[in-house]
């Protein structure tokens, strides 16, 4: 299985300026992400890993550590637009599989990347693939920042939402008779993990699709694909997602974990 991992990276983070270049154990974060991806063991060998950026500084950091990078325009409204341009610059064929790994995920499970890519070879009816993990506590289930997904029999997404779905209407009382068990167990409530696989042809088409009302309401870009009739296959992993870096506090925690 041949596929390409694209890592979008830009310097315009407001909560953590110059985030892709933040030092983690002697390496820029975006380089850490690229190296982490290559630790996986997907069928057919390691993927091609390319950073897609609008920054000359990020290009230079990648070059100094042997990471392939491509320079894209600076005016893209979203990461998907940047990846679409990168796939064209790299000359990827329409059926070639591309996996989008965020540049602030230095602890991503490298085998998850290969699993998301492989899913598109197993689900030809899907235009995209992604991942999810079981939710086991009510705080996450009710947290709007934890995106939920509900699947059909074939493991294809029915809907993504910030709301607690599926709603458990007839949930039982707990053993003591006080309160209720609020996290569904059949079907299991699932937390969406923000990694995406695409066929390159669809990736180039995606930014041209009109925004969907449900996309803007939920602030979830993947709903645009579903609103236009495309299916999204979901790999359910037993491993919880690794810690991403959004704030200085996250960065400090990741530095401690990698140092250990």
Q: Which helix (H) or strand (E) holds 236?
A: strand 231-237
Cite the DSSP H helix spans in the chain: 29-37, 56-64, 79-89, 110-122, 138-142, 200-205, 213-218, 222-227, 248-259
Beta pairing, strands 190-199 & 148-151: antiparallel
d(CA 194, CA 198): 13
**What pLDDT digit, counting tens, does each position of 176-187 carry?**
544 455 788 888
Q: Is 27 helix (H, G, I), strand (E, B) or coil?
A: strand
- What residue segments make up the domains of the chain, in order of their start? 3-259
Percentage of the chain lying above the pLDDT 90 cut: 76
Positive or negative torsion for Cα 39, 245, 50, 57: negative
Q: Is 195 helix (H, G, I), strand (E, B) or coil?
A: strand
Does the bond joining 166 to the residue before it have cis omega, within 30 degrees of 0? yes
Measured torsion, CA atoms of residues 52, 58, 63, 65, in degrees rounded to the nearest 10: -110
Which pLDDT tens digits describe the chain residue by residue (260 residues)?
689 999 999 887 777 889 999 999 999 999 999 999 998 766 556 899 999 999 999 999 999 999 999 999 988 888 889 999 999 999 999 999 999 999 999 999 999 999 999 999 999 999 999 999 999 899 999 999 999 999 999 999 999 999 999 998 887 766 554 445 578 888 899 999 999 999 999 999 999 999 999 999 999 999 999 999 999 999 999 988 888 998 999 999 999 998 87
Beta pairing, strands 97-100 & 3-9: parallel
Output phi, psi for 77, to 5 deg: -75, -15
d(CA 183, CA 166): 9
Asked whether 8 and 58 are in contact (CB, 8 A), the reply is: no
For the domain made up of 3-259, give the CATH fold: Spore Coat Polysaccharide Biosynthesis Protein SpsA; Chain A (3.90.550)
d(CA 99, CA 119): 11
Instruction: Extract the tokens encoding 245.
Output: 């870096």
Tell me the pTM. Answer: 0.91
**What pLDDT digit, counting tens, does each position of 49-85 carry?**
999 999 999 999 999 999 999 999 988 888 889 999 9
């Amino acid at each position: 299985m041949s596929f390409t991992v694209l890592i979008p990276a830009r310097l315009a983070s407001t909560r953590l300026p110059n985030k892709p270049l933040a030092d983690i154990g002697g390496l820029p974060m975006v380089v850490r992400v690229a190296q982490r991806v290559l630790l996986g063991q997907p069928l057919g060998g390691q993927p091609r890993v390319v950073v897609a950026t609008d920054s000359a500084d990020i290009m230079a950091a990648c070059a100094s550590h042997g990471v392939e990078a491509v320079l894209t325009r600076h005016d893209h409204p979203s990461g998907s637009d940047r990846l679409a341009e990168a796939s064209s610059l790299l000359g990827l064929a329409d059926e070639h599989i591309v996996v989008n790994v965020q540049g602030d995920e230095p602890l991503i499970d490298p085998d998850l990347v290969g699993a998301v890519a492989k899913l598109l070879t197993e689900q030809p009816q899907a235009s995209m693939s992604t991942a999810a993990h079981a939710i086991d506590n009510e705080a996450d289930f009710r947290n709007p920042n934890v995106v939920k997904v509900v699947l059909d029999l074939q493991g294809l997404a029915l809907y993504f939402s910030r709301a607690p779905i599926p709603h458990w209407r007839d949930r039982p009382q707990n053993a003591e008779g006080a309160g209720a068990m609020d996290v569904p167990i059949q079907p299991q409530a699932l937390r969406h993990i923000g990694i995406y696989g695409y066929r390159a042809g669809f990736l180039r088409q995606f930014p041209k699709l009109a925004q969907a009302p449900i996309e803007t309401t939920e602030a979830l870009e993947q709903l645009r694909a579903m609103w236009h009739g495309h299916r999204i296959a979901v790999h359910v992993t037993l491993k919880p997602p690794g810690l991403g870096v959004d704030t200085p506090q996250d960065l400090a925690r990741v530095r401690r974990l990698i140092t250990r």
